[in-house]
Amino acid sequence: MEIIVATNNQGKLLEMQQGIYDSNISLVSYQKYSQIAEKPQEAGQTYFENAYLKAKFYQAKLKQPVLADDGGLELVAFPEILGLKTQRFFKSSDPLDQNQEILALFQNTKTSKKVTLKATLVYLMDESNYLTSEASLVGEIVPPKGTMGYGFDSIIKIPALNKTLAEMTDFERAHYSPRIQALKKILLKIKGD
């Protein structure tokens, strides 16, 4: 079974494919079918709305079912600046720079470093026929540690393991990743299990 994913981020696609441990399912970028230059408008008020808008955009272009995700970092100490606006908050598109921008928020402050990483997925067959799932992970922001994963993985520590996501094996990281957990849930719905 092939599932078209509304992303051209190869790191995200690889993480998703490895995280499901199912060789019968192939996750491919929409770029396999079309080099769409436009980007969807993510003007929703919730992660679900943004994922739905993204899925709707690519589904309408490709005339095939599409899986889209949205999510963000929610910082207890700074609830107004990230969340739905996570990607728009950053000055740089480089993940290492983005991590430094987050760490800079906590310089010279003793505020809570608690963070919730959220993911919402929408699988859209047509405009009124869709499946959705969501998951979240609570951790804390720490200085970068570890070399695995991508994105924010090196600065999000899971207190129960005393490790950042970037210090975990692929198997461990898949167990904690909200995107992977939401993906596993939605795949069960897609397959009708």
175: nearest Cα among 18, 22, 9: 18
Active site residue 70: yes
Instruction: Report the alpha-carbon distance of residue 116 to residue 158 in Å, rounded.
Output: 11
- Which residue among the candidates 22, 70, 94, 193 is catalytic per the annotation? 70
Instruction: Report the alpha-carbon distance of residue 173 to residue 182 in Å, rounded.
Output: 14
| Structure tokens, 191 | 């397959």
* CA atoms 108, 109, 114, 116: torsion sign: negative
Contact criterion met (CB below 8 Å) for 146 and 93: no
Q: Which residues are catalytic?
A: 70
